[in-house]
Structure 1
């Protein structure tokens, strides 16, 4: 539509300009012809007069100068006026194009994506009213239908339907997305399977069934570390009397959590599942529910103590021997605090799923940092011990005695 307006405006401009040029050229020619006629009449009268040749030459020269003086301003004036007349027309045409473009853009709904984005931004800051939610759903549906290759709009549409408790419609959207995803899109398929299972579960008034549970198991085969999927799978497994499976699902979530109220609530669910197993004559091994903690005595060698300052920072941390470099637990002290016994546990986890209970073998590090930064630098003093079991019951002694070159 925008291009049509531009082309029509350009065509109109091309049609108008020649007519202005013709009118301006005609007026200029008429004026010049009148000047020429008067000049010729006066010249003839001068030649027919009784003046001598010298007087005639002087007057003829004066007539020539007057003719030229009249002709040049007219030409310049015609050109200036022509330019002046064209500018208002040009500005008017630009104004028409801009106004028309915006009006048609709004009228034909070309800004649906912008409207949807605006409401999504608002939803991130405050709760939308019911009419706003319904309007957003409408915009997202239009944007999704308009951009079928961009699945992000379909995901947003399905999620908004879920938020609006329209679970049946949401399930259909996620099912349609799943059909279009290739097998190699592992992460996208896993997420979509979870969203589909979630929508179907709530559409059934939170009643578990094998079909929905199987969707979650399929998702976990693709993405086993997804806590949301593991948690929901545990709920469905429990409702389906699959108590051992529920424990396994919740175990994965519990081990990824720090010692927190959320972990304590999950532990209660695990205990209930274990009790149901006992009622069925089975037993559940819950020894893994003991939170890993390691006691560490941190001290300095005499050489190190003489080289550092009392207010230098001391970092004590535990890392996985085989795993990400991010610390699983960390404490911050000063040289003046040493020697000191500390406990490293899941309570000091720095990220979900990154705690010492999740990794059997650990590396313990104590480092004195003159800069106060946790990253090791030349001149820092440190102690390192590896491997250490996360179930170690005896106290580990770390004596800072090595200087980093």
Structure 2
């Protein structure tokens, strides 16, 4: 860790220099202030200005430009102004140029202490230690998994609240055949980072295999907790598929694995799930899915579009209907678009990758979409005043079911 502290020291040097820099010009500034006060002639200048104005006022009086009352009033005003400008004000004596020098070292020490304390609380020193351990074990000729585990277990005493310690220990315990310790590491990680669906799913899977692929009450509770937060969590759906397959419920297994494969990013895992689906189909005595059939199971949304009764007759039957799926944040181009006509309403369509406008923006890339339906009498892709529209937020993307469809009603007018 010596290089780290050297780097921190180098970063602190400019800050400490900025604290010292004003002291270097303190003597010059003090001399300038003393010189200014010693040669201050503002009082004499104010008197000279008073005399010129008074002479001008008397000349005006003698010429008859002003009367005696006005002369007396203006003279009194000049005298008051002179009194205000020349009144003697007690000035505080200037402090010595060396005044406050002792405060600077105290401030410098405070900056260093505060910086080090903040880094220890919020910095990544612990993570750097973990990285150093990995490198040491990897470069050690006698390095082994046991040595790495021993070093990491020692870090749990030094860094009990560092989530990265437990996230590294979990797979080490799991892969070394220590499931109880792996589960304990996951539970400790959830105490720090919260009971998030990905962590709950890993614990569910671990407990499921520890229970010899049985849905014990503990495992079922974890399944319920995970799916309550994320109904499409692929790891848990995969577990449910395995349980159904083991119990001969192949149709349920196929359904769970299809839902899991639609939401999983790892291609190898997705391929394994598809293999499982084909085996389950063979057990059912049906023709296993080919690649084309599997592609047909790609994620998407079935949408039923209808026109509100109040707007029926307000638009021609040949007006164009744009049925669009967009990401919730609106950052991507339209993910899928289908065109129809008002005469076809109500209509049910499928929005999937086949309806994508660009390979870089497909509906399979997201988990939720916003459905937008617009009726354009002009047939233009850009919304125009007078267009009819309807929308539906937070629609889940997944395997397309013949029995389920998101209902979007065209019930508003674009202004």
TM-score by length of 1: 0.40
For the pair shown, the structure with the greater C-alpha radius of gyration is 1
Bigger share in helix = 1
